Amino acid sequence: MRLLIATSNPGKASEYRAALEPCGFELSSLADFPPLAEPQETESTFRGNARLKADYYFEQLAVPCLADDSGLEVDALGGRPGVRSARVADSDRQRIAVLLSWIHEAEAQRGTLPRTARFVCAICLRLPEGRIEVEGTVQGQIIDTPRGSRGFGYDPIFYYPPRRKTFAELSPSEKNRLSHRAQALRRLLAKIQTSRQAANPRRPEKKRKGSQSEASRSSLRLCNLA
Ligand code: ITT
């Protein structure tokens, strides 16, 4: 399947390439098309903004589009910055500094607060025949001192207890198996598989109740998501 990864965030784009190219998707990026203004992300949910971006690029470029709206929900901040995660400041380093300053301010006013947080990723795949929409999340904790140099965005302060590492300390392939984006991609591939089966029911697949189909398992393995 040919697919435009409709993002101007190079960190996201490289994670989608790593996951989807090995399983046969032919990916293009916005750089392969004439320059377009970015759409205003006016919705209040990740799902709404992912849909808005996918629809916008599909209408402008008339090719199948995958758009991602994602961000960090910090419990001590009542779920902020959420859908506004990219708009906190102009660079990753500044975003991290601003986010930590908000948490420290909240702690100065209200005492020790939980450091729990989650990354959320909504994906909308816009095809000529309709949309496929999925979400994924991953839980972690916000730490005060950035650690690690991989990944992007808030990864250096997002500590993932099961691995005792921040997301910026994980190898790219580990992050691509564990992240909110990986969770969402798994769901997306399963839905693509299901819709392909529905469109081509001549070879129905034996599937135990509640289990993944073999086709779905093998596409996850190919996509480095298993
Ligand atoms: P596009 O809209 O062009 O895709 P964007 O960076 O503006 O790019 P979003 O509006 O979805 O995308 O904002 C996502 C922000 O959330 C991103 O800029 C990071 O600051 C943060 N974020 C999302 N996923 C992340 C991840 O895997 N690791 C660290 N930070 C992440």
Secondary structure of the chain in HEC code, one letter for each residue: CEEEECCCCHHHHHHHHHHHHHHCCEEEEHHHCCCCCCCCCCCCCHHHHHHHHHHHHHHHHCCCEEEEEEEEEEHHHCCCEHHHHHHHCCCHHHHHHHHHHHHHHHHHHHCCCCCEEEEEEEEEEEECCEEEEEEEEEEEEECCCCCCCCCCCCHHHEEEHHHCEECCCCCHHHHHHHCHHHHHHHHHHHHHHHHHHHHCCCCCCCCCCCCCCHHHHHHHHHCCCC
pLDDT of residue 24: 87
Which residue is closest in CA terms to ligand 1's atom 18?
Answer: 86
Ligand 1 centre distance from Cα of residue 37 (Å) = 18
Residues with CB under 6 A from ligand 1: 7-9, 12, 41, 68-72, 85-86, 95, 119, 151-155, 167, 179, 181
Pocket test for ligand 1, best of 33, 125, 154 (most atoms within 8 A of CB): 154
Delimit the domains of the chain by residue range.
2-198
Which atom of ligand 1 lies nearest, measured to the CA of 15? 27
- Output the tens digit of pLDDT for each of the chain's 226 residues: 899 999 999 999 999 999 999 988 999 999 999 999 999 999 999 999 999 999 999 999 999 999 999 999 999 999 999 999 999 999 999 999 999 999 999 999 999 999 999 999 999 999 999 999 999 999 999 999 999 999 999 999 999 999 999 999 999 999 999 999 999 999 999 998 888 777 777 655 555 555 555 545 555 554 656 5
Ligand 1 centre distance from Cα of residue 70 (Å) = 5
CATH annotation of 2-198 = 3.90.950.10
Active site residues: 69
